[in-house]
A = this chain, B = another copy of it.
Protein backbone atom coordinates (compact mmCIF):
# COMPACT_ATOMS: atom_id res chain seq x y z
CA UNK A 1 0.00 0.00 0.00
CA UNK A 2 1.18 3.46 -0.80
CA UNK A 3 -0.16 6.76 -2.05
CA UNK A 4 2.38 7.02 -4.85
CA UNK A 5 1.76 7.60 -8.51
CA UNK A 6 2.61 4.94 -11.05
CA UNK A 7 5.51 6.01 -13.29
CA UNK A 8 3.04 7.02 -16.00
CA UNK A 9 0.98 9.02 -13.51
CA UNK A 10 4.06 10.68 -12.07
CA UNK A 11 5.21 11.73 -15.51
CA UNK A 12 1.82 13.16 -16.30
CA UNK A 13 1.64 14.99 -12.97
CA UNK A 14 5.00 16.56 -13.70
CA UNK A 15 3.87 17.62 -17.15
CA UNK A 16 0.71 19.16 -15.71
CA UNK A 17 2.63 21.02 -13.03
CA UNK A 18 5.04 22.44 -15.54
CA UNK A 19 2.18 23.63 -17.69
CA UNK A 20 0.25 25.09 -14.76
CA UNK A 21 3.33 26.86 -13.43
CA UNK A 22 3.77 28.44 -16.80
CA UNK A 23 0.15 29.45 -17.20
CA UNK A 24 -1.32 30.17 -13.74
CA UNK A 25 -0.49 31.48 -10.29
CA UNK A 26 0.02 29.06 -7.44
CA UNK A 27 -2.19 29.57 -4.38
CA UNK A 28 -0.45 30.77 -1.27
CA UNK A 29 -2.74 28.65 0.93
CA UNK A 30 -5.36 26.04 0.26
CA UNK A 31 -8.31 28.09 1.52
CA UNK A 32 -7.78 30.62 -1.26
CA UNK A 33 -10.10 30.35 -4.23
CA UNK A 34 -12.09 32.14 -6.82
CA UNK A 35 -15.66 31.83 -5.71
CA UNK A 36 -18.01 30.90 -8.53
CA UNK A 37 -20.64 33.58 -8.12
CA UNK A 38 -23.50 33.88 -10.49
CA UNK A 39 -23.53 37.66 -10.44
CA UNK A 40 -19.96 38.38 -11.41
CA UNK A 41 -19.57 38.74 -15.20
CA UNK A 42 -15.89 39.54 -14.80
CA UNK A 43 -15.26 36.16 -13.20
CA UNK A 44 -17.12 34.35 -15.97
CA UNK A 45 -14.97 36.12 -18.52
CA UNK A 46 -11.81 34.98 -16.76
CA UNK A 47 -13.15 31.47 -16.46
CA UNK A 48 -13.83 31.35 -20.18
CA UNK A 49 -10.31 32.48 -20.92
CA UNK A 50 -8.84 29.87 -18.61
CA UNK A 51 -11.04 27.15 -20.09
CA UNK A 52 -9.91 28.07 -23.59
CA UNK A 53 -6.27 27.90 -22.57
CA UNK A 54 -6.79 24.56 -20.89
CA UNK A 55 -8.70 23.11 -23.83
CA UNK A 56 -6.08 24.30 -26.25
CA UNK A 57 -3.43 22.53 -24.21
CA UNK A 58 -5.56 19.38 -24.18
CA UNK A 59 -6.30 19.37 -20.43
CA UNK A 60 -9.98 20.26 -20.45
CA UNK A 61 -11.42 16.75 -20.78
CA UNK A 62 -8.66 14.19 -20.80
CA UNK A 63 -10.99 11.21 -20.97
CA UNK A 64 -12.79 12.39 -24.10
CA UNK A 65 -11.81 10.90 -27.46
CA UNK A 66 -9.21 12.82 -29.40
CA UNK A 67 -11.68 13.80 -32.11
CA UNK A 68 -13.54 15.86 -29.47
CA UNK A 69 -10.43 17.51 -28.07
CA UNK A 70 -9.66 14.97 -25.37
CA UNK A 71 -6.79 12.50 -25.06
CA UNK A 72 -8.73 9.27 -24.66
CA UNK A 73 -6.97 9.03 -21.31
CA UNK A 74 -7.76 7.00 -18.19
CA UNK A 75 -9.95 8.76 -15.62
CA UNK A 76 -7.07 8.77 -13.15
CA UNK A 77 -5.24 11.30 -15.34
CA UNK A 78 -8.29 13.54 -15.26
CA UNK A 79 -8.21 13.29 -11.45
CA UNK A 80 -4.50 14.08 -11.35
CA UNK A 81 -5.04 17.13 -13.50
CA UNK A 82 -7.78 18.33 -11.17
CA UNK A 83 -5.70 17.67 -8.06
CA UNK A 84 -2.92 19.79 -9.47
CA UNK A 85 -5.17 22.52 -10.83
CA UNK A 86 -6.73 22.88 -7.36
CA UNK A 87 -3.41 24.30 -6.18
CA UNK A 88 -3.63 27.25 -8.55
CA UNK A 89 -5.67 30.39 -8.44
CA UNK A 90 -7.91 29.76 -11.43
CA UNK A 91 -11.67 30.28 -11.80
CA UNK A 92 -13.50 26.97 -11.94
CA UNK A 93 -17.01 25.59 -11.73
CA UNK A 94 -18.74 27.21 -14.71
CA UNK A 95 -18.31 24.34 -17.15
CA UNK A 96 -18.72 21.26 -14.97
CA UNK A 97 -22.38 20.71 -15.77
CA UNK A 98 -22.00 21.41 -19.44
CA UNK A 99 -18.96 19.24 -19.99
CA UNK A 100 -19.78 16.67 -17.31
CA UNK A 101 -23.45 16.12 -18.14
CA UNK A 102 -24.81 17.99 -21.16
CA UNK A 103 -22.15 17.31 -23.76
CA UNK A 104 -21.85 13.60 -22.84
CA UNK A 105 -25.62 13.38 -23.39
CA UNK A 106 -25.17 15.16 -26.71
CA UNK A 107 -22.46 12.66 -27.61
CA UNK A 108 -24.92 9.86 -27.03
CA UNK A 109 -27.78 11.33 -29.06
CA UNK A 110 -26.85 14.26 -31.29
CA UNK A 111 -25.92 14.04 -34.98
CA UNK A 112 -22.28 14.20 -36.10
CA UNK A 113 -22.98 17.67 -37.54
CA UNK A 114 -24.39 18.88 -34.24
CA UNK A 115 -21.41 17.52 -32.35
CA UNK A 116 -19.13 19.26 -34.77
CA UNK A 117 -21.01 22.49 -34.14
CA UNK A 118 -21.34 22.32 -30.32
CA UNK A 119 -18.62 20.24 -28.67
CA UNK A 120 -15.62 22.38 -29.40
CA UNK A 121 -17.12 25.73 -28.34
CA UNK A 122 -18.30 24.08 -25.12
CA UNK A 123 -14.91 22.54 -24.42
CA UNK A 124 -13.15 25.86 -25.01
CA UNK A 125 -15.55 27.76 -22.80
CA UNK A 126 -16.96 29.79 -25.67
CA UNK A 127 -20.45 28.49 -24.96
CA UNK A 128 -21.79 27.48 -21.58
CA UNK A 129 -24.40 24.77 -21.11
CA UNK A 130 -26.99 24.07 -18.41
CA UNK A 131 -29.24 21.19 -17.52
CA UNK A 132 -33.00 21.78 -17.22
CA UNK A 133 -34.48 18.81 -15.39
CA UNK A 134 -35.93 19.61 -11.93
CA UNK A 135 -39.33 21.21 -11.61
CA UNK A 136 -41.29 22.54 -8.65
CA UNK A 137 -43.30 19.31 -8.50
CA UNK A 138 -40.44 17.04 -9.56
CA UNK A 139 -37.46 17.06 -7.23
CA UNK A 140 -36.34 13.65 -6.00
CA UNK A 141 -38.89 12.25 -8.46
CA UNK A 142 -37.38 13.73 -11.63
CA UNK A 143 -39.65 11.73 -13.93
CA UNK A 144 -42.64 13.60 -12.48
CA UNK A 145 -41.93 16.66 -14.63
CA UNK A 146 -44.80 18.52 -16.31
CA UNK A 147 -43.14 20.91 -18.74
CA UNK A 148 -44.99 20.19 -21.99
CA UNK A 149 -43.58 19.87 -25.48
CA UNK A 150 -46.20 19.78 -28.21
CA UNK A 151 -45.52 18.97 -31.83
CA UNK A 152 -46.13 21.76 -34.32
CA UNK A 153 -45.02 20.75 -37.78
CA UNK A 154 -41.25 20.38 -37.72
CA UNK A 155 -41.05 22.14 -34.42
CA UNK A 156 -41.99 21.57 -30.80
CA UNK A 157 -43.61 24.18 -28.59
CA UNK A 158 -42.43 24.14 -25.00
CA UNK A 159 -44.42 25.46 -22.04
CA UNK A 160 -43.68 25.02 -18.39
CA UNK A 161 -41.25 25.76 -15.60
CA UNK A 162 -37.91 24.38 -14.50
CA UNK A 163 -36.18 25.05 -11.20
CA UNK A 164 -32.75 24.68 -9.55
CA UNK A 165 -31.00 25.37 -12.84
CA UNK A 166 -27.38 26.35 -12.13
CA UNK A 167 -26.07 29.18 -14.25
CA UNK A 168 -29.17 29.48 -16.43
CA UNK A 169 -28.74 33.24 -16.77
CA UNK A 170 -25.29 33.07 -18.30
CA UNK A 171 -25.71 29.86 -20.24
CA UNK A 172 -25.93 29.72 -23.99
CA UNK A 173 -27.49 26.31 -24.39
CA UNK A 174 -29.30 23.78 -22.29
CA UNK A 175 -30.65 20.27 -22.38
CA UNK A 176 -34.25 20.03 -21.30
CA UNK A 177 -36.53 17.16 -20.49
CA UNK A 178 -40.18 17.56 -21.39
CA UNK A 179 -43.44 15.65 -21.33
CA UNK A 180 -44.64 14.89 -24.81
CA UNK A 181 -47.34 12.39 -23.92
CA UNK A 182 -49.36 12.69 -20.71
CA UNK A 183 -51.57 9.73 -21.64
CA UNK A 184 -48.95 7.08 -20.84
CA UNK A 185 -47.26 6.22 -17.51
CA UNK A 186 -44.87 8.88 -16.39
CA UNK A 187 -41.52 7.45 -17.47
CA UNK A 188 -42.88 6.65 -20.91
CA UNK A 189 -44.07 10.08 -22.03
CA UNK A 190 -40.83 12.05 -21.81
CA UNK A 191 -38.65 13.48 -24.57
CA UNK A 192 -35.34 15.34 -24.37
CA UNK A 193 -34.17 18.33 -26.42
CA UNK A 194 -31.39 20.81 -26.43
CA UNK A 195 -32.13 24.46 -26.92
CA UNK A 196 -30.66 27.90 -27.30
CA UNK A 197 -31.21 29.69 -23.99
CA UNK A 198 -31.65 32.96 -25.90
CA UNK A 199 -34.75 31.56 -27.65
CA UNK A 200 -37.84 33.78 -27.41
CA UNK A 201 -40.05 32.76 -24.50
CA UNK A 202 -37.24 31.65 -22.16
CA UNK A 203 -37.18 33.65 -18.95
CA UNK A 204 -34.62 33.13 -16.17
CA UNK A 205 -35.17 34.26 -12.59
CA UNK A 206 -32.61 33.75 -9.82
CA UNK A 207 -33.67 31.86 -6.66
CA UNK A 208 -32.53 33.42 -3.43
CA UNK A 209 -31.46 30.68 -1.02
CA UNK A 210 -31.70 30.56 2.74
CA UNK A 211 -27.96 31.20 2.80
CA UNK A 212 -28.54 34.49 0.97
CA UNK A 213 -26.76 33.22 -2.12
CA UNK A 214 -28.41 32.84 -5.52
CA UNK A 215 -26.58 30.06 -7.37
CA UNK A 216 -29.70 28.62 -8.92
CA UNK A 217 -32.51 29.81 -11.11
CA UNK A 218 -36.05 29.24 -12.11
CA UNK A 219 -36.51 29.02 -15.86
CA UNK A 220 -39.92 29.69 -17.42
CA UNK A 221 -40.83 28.52 -20.91
CA UNK A 222 -43.65 30.29 -22.71
CA UNK A 223 -44.33 28.97 -26.20
CA UNK A 224 -40.66 28.34 -26.80
CA UNK A 225 -40.14 26.89 -30.24
CA UNK A 226 -37.53 24.15 -30.78
CA UNK A 227 -36.89 22.44 -34.10
CA UNK A 228 -37.33 18.68 -34.07
CA UNK A 229 -33.70 18.39 -35.16
CA UNK A 230 -32.77 19.40 -31.59
CA UNK A 231 -34.49 16.37 -30.15
CA UNK A 232 -32.08 14.04 -28.28
CA UNK A 233 -33.18 10.44 -28.62
CA UNK A 234 -36.55 9.19 -29.71
CA UNK A 235 -39.90 10.69 -28.82
CA UNK A 236 -41.01 9.07 -25.57
CA UNK A 237 -37.49 7.90 -24.71
CA UNK A 238 -36.47 10.96 -22.79
CA UNK A 239 -36.14 9.04 -19.52
CA UNK A 240 -33.44 6.87 -21.00
CA UNK A 241 -31.59 9.99 -22.14
CA UNK A 242 -32.06 11.58 -18.73
CA UNK A 243 -30.52 8.56 -17.03
CA UNK A 244 -27.42 9.03 -19.20
CA UNK A 245 -27.18 12.59 -17.93
CA UNK A 246 -27.85 11.72 -14.30
CA UNK A 247 -25.33 8.90 -14.29
CA UNK A 248 -22.74 11.46 -15.29
CA UNK A 249 -23.96 13.75 -12.49
CA UNK A 250 -23.37 11.08 -9.89
CA UNK A 251 -19.73 10.78 -10.93
CA UNK A 252 -19.34 14.52 -10.62
CA UNK A 253 -20.66 14.93 -7.07
CA UNK A 254 -17.75 15.37 -4.73
CA UNK A 255 -16.93 16.93 -1.43
CA UNK A 256 -17.53 20.62 -0.93
CA UNK A 257 -14.13 22.13 -0.39
CA UNK A 258 -12.78 25.27 1.15
CA UNK A 259 -15.13 25.29 4.14
CA UNK A 260 -14.00 25.19 7.74
CA UNK A 261 -13.29 21.75 9.16
CA UNK A 262 -11.46 19.93 11.98
CA UNK A 263 -8.41 22.21 11.96
CA UNK A 264 -10.47 25.33 12.50
CA UNK A 265 -12.68 23.58 15.06
CA UNK A 266 -9.58 22.58 17.03
CA UNK A 267 -8.21 26.08 16.83
CA UNK A 268 -11.53 27.44 18.06
CA UNK A 269 -11.57 24.90 20.88
CA UNK A 270 -8.04 25.85 21.90
CA UNK A 271 -8.97 29.49 22.02
CA UNK A 272 -12.33 29.17 23.73
CA UNK A 273 -12.35 29.26 27.51
CA UNK A 274 -15.14 27.27 29.10
CA UNK A 275 -15.88 27.28 32.81
CA UNK A 276 -13.27 24.63 33.50
CA UNK A 277 -10.60 25.70 31.07
CA UNK A 278 -9.92 25.60 27.35
CA UNK A 279 -12.66 23.85 25.41
CA UNK A 280 -10.10 21.56 23.81
CA UNK A 281 -9.56 19.92 27.20
CA UNK A 282 -13.27 19.15 27.58
CA UNK A 283 -13.90 15.46 26.91
CA UNK A 284 -17.23 16.16 25.29
CA UNK A 285 -15.56 18.50 22.81
CA UNK A 286 -12.76 15.98 22.25
CA UNK A 287 -15.22 13.23 21.58
CA UNK A 288 -16.93 15.29 18.88
CA UNK A 289 -13.62 16.28 17.31
CA UNK A 290 -12.60 12.63 17.24
CA UNK A 291 -15.87 11.53 15.63
CA UNK A 292 -15.65 14.16 12.94
CA UNK A 293 -11.97 13.48 12.34
CA UNK A 294 -12.75 9.81 11.83
CA UNK A 295 -15.42 10.80 9.31
CA UNK A 296 -13.22 13.31 7.52
CA UNK A 297 -10.34 10.84 7.27
CA UNK A 298 -12.72 8.06 6.36
CA UNK A 299 -14.05 10.04 3.41
CA UNK A 300 -10.62 11.11 2.25
CA UNK A 301 -9.33 7.55 2.44
CA UNK A 302 -12.44 6.18 0.78
CA UNK A 303 -11.69 8.51 -2.09
CA UNK A 304 -8.18 7.07 -2.23
CA UNK A 305 -9.69 3.61 -2.56
CA UNK A 306 -11.75 4.83 -5.51
CA UNK A 307 -8.70 6.46 -7.08
CA UNK A 308 -6.75 3.25 -6.61
CA UNK A 309 -9.33 1.38 -8.65
CA UNK A 310 -9.17 4.05 -11.35
CA UNK A 311 -5.41 3.98 -11.29
CA UNK A 312 -5.51 0.23 -11.84
CA UNK A 313 -7.94 0.67 -14.67
CA UNK A 314 -10.70 -0.99 -12.67
CA UNK A 315 -14.27 0.15 -12.08
CA UNK A 316 -14.46 1.68 -8.59
CA UNK A 317 -16.68 -0.07 -6.04
CA UNK A 318 -19.77 1.50 -4.56
CA UNK A 319 -17.86 2.97 -1.61
CA UNK A 320 -17.96 6.53 -2.88
CA UNK A 321 -21.74 6.55 -2.50
CA UNK A 322 -21.25 7.23 1.22
CA UNK A 323 -19.56 10.57 0.74
CA UNK A 324 -22.48 12.97 0.77
CA UNK A 325 -24.44 10.92 3.34
CA UNK A 326 -21.58 11.54 5.77
CA UNK A 327 -20.31 14.92 4.67
CA UNK A 328 -23.58 16.85 4.62
CA UNK A 329 -24.83 16.19 8.17
CA UNK A 330 -21.24 16.56 9.43
CA UNK A 331 -21.14 20.03 7.88
CA UNK A 332 -24.45 21.02 9.48
CA UNK A 333 -23.71 19.53 12.90
CA UNK A 334 -20.14 20.75 13.15
CA UNK A 335 -21.29 24.24 12.23
CA UNK A 336 -23.95 24.18 14.94
CA UNK A 337 -21.53 22.78 17.51
CA UNK A 338 -18.82 25.34 16.76
CA UNK A 339 -21.39 28.09 17.18
CA UNK A 340 -22.32 26.61 20.53
CA UNK A 341 -18.71 26.83 21.68
CA UNK A 342 -18.83 30.58 21.11
CA UNK A 343 -21.84 31.02 23.40
CA UNK A 344 -24.27 33.81 22.64
CA UNK A 345 -21.65 35.40 20.38
CA UNK A 346 -22.00 32.42 18.06
CA UNK A 347 -24.94 34.22 16.45
CA UNK A 348 -22.84 37.23 15.38
CA UNK A 349 -21.81 37.40 11.75
CA UNK A 350 -18.83 39.64 12.38
CA UNK A 351 -16.21 40.32 15.03
CA UNK A 352 -16.06 36.72 16.24
CA UNK A 353 -13.24 34.52 14.91
CA UNK A 354 -14.57 31.65 12.78
CA UNK A 355 -18.21 32.59 13.45
CA UNK A 356 -19.15 33.49 9.88
CA UNK A 357 -17.40 30.39 8.56
CA UNK A 358 -19.12 27.96 10.87
CA UNK A 359 -22.47 29.70 10.42
CA UNK A 360 -22.02 29.17 6.68
CA UNK A 361 -21.44 25.46 7.35
CA UNK A 362 -24.51 25.28 9.55
CA UNK A 363 -26.70 26.92 6.90
CA UNK A 364 -24.96 25.38 3.91
CA UNK A 365 -25.13 21.92 5.45
CA UNK A 366 -28.92 22.16 5.51
CA UNK A 367 -28.85 22.78 1.77
CA UNK A 368 -26.13 20.23 1.06
CA UNK A 369 -28.28 17.54 2.71
CA UNK A 370 -30.83 18.20 -0.06
CA UNK A 371 -28.97 19.25 -3.21
CA UNK A 372 -28.01 16.53 -5.68
CA UNK A 373 -30.00 13.85 -3.84
CA UNK A 374 -31.42 14.15 -0.33
CA UNK A 375 -30.07 12.11 2.57
CA UNK A 376 -33.14 9.92 2.16
CA UNK A 377 -32.75 9.33 -1.57
CA UNK A 378 -29.06 8.53 -1.15
CA UNK A 379 -29.82 5.94 1.55
CA UNK A 380 -32.35 4.41 -0.80
CA UNK A 381 -29.71 4.24 -3.49
CA UNK A 382 -27.17 2.58 -1.20
CA UNK A 383 -29.78 0.11 0.05
CA UNK A 384 -30.93 -0.77 -3.45
CA UNK A 385 -27.76 -0.65 -5.53
CA UNK A 386 -25.17 -1.70 -2.97
CA UNK A 387 -27.15 -4.00 -0.70
CA UNK A 388 -29.60 -5.25 -3.28
CA UNK A 389 -32.70 -4.45 -1.25
CA UNK A 390 -35.99 -4.02 -3.10
CA UNK A 391 -37.02 -0.67 -4.52
CA UNK A 392 -39.94 1.18 -2.98
CA UNK A 393 -43.39 0.18 -4.11
CA UNK A 394 -44.21 2.32 -7.14
CA UNK A 395 -47.89 3.11 -7.12
CA UNK A 396 -47.54 5.32 -10.21
CA UNK A 397 -45.89 2.73 -12.40
CA UNK A 398 -48.67 1.76 -14.75
CA UNK A 399 -50.94 4.77 -14.47
CA UNK A 400 -51.14 7.39 -17.24
CA UNK A 401 -49.42 10.56 -16.07
CA UNK A 402 -52.55 12.69 -16.43
CA UNK A 403 -54.46 10.35 -14.11
CA UNK A 404 -51.99 10.71 -11.21
CA UNK A 405 -52.78 12.72 -8.09
CA UNK A 406 -50.88 16.00 -8.10
CA UNK A 407 -48.91 17.74 -5.38
Contact = CB atoms under 8 A, between A and B. Distances in A.
A136 to B, nearest CB: 22
Interface in A259-289: 282-287
Interface in A47-99: none
A282 B393 CA distance: 48
A395 interface: yes
A285 B284 CA distance: 8
Nearest to A286: B284
Oligomer copy total: 2
Interface residues of A, number: 8
A285 B393 CA distance: 43
Nearest to A279: B283
Nearest to A393: B393
Nearest to A395: B393
Contacts of A284: 283-284, 286-287
Interface string A354-396: 0000000000000000000000000000000000000001010
Residue among A283, A286, A393 having the largest count of chain B Cβ atoms under 10 Å: A283
A393 B392 CA distance: 10
Contacts of A283: 282-285
A206 B124 CA distance: 76
A257 B189 CA distance: 60
Interface string A216-241: 00000000000000000000000000
Contacts of A285: 283
Interface in A114-139: none
9 contacts: A282-B283, A283-B283, A283-B284, A283-B285, A284-B284, A284-B286, A284-B287, A393-B393, A393-B395
In the A-B complex, the 7 residue pairs with the smallest Cβ-Cβ separation, listed nearest first, are A283-B284, A283-B283, A393-B393, A282-B283, A284-B287, A284-B284, A393-B395
Given A283-B285, A393-B393, 7 more contacts: A282-B283, A283-B283, A283-B284, A284-B284, A284-B286, A284-B287, A393-B395
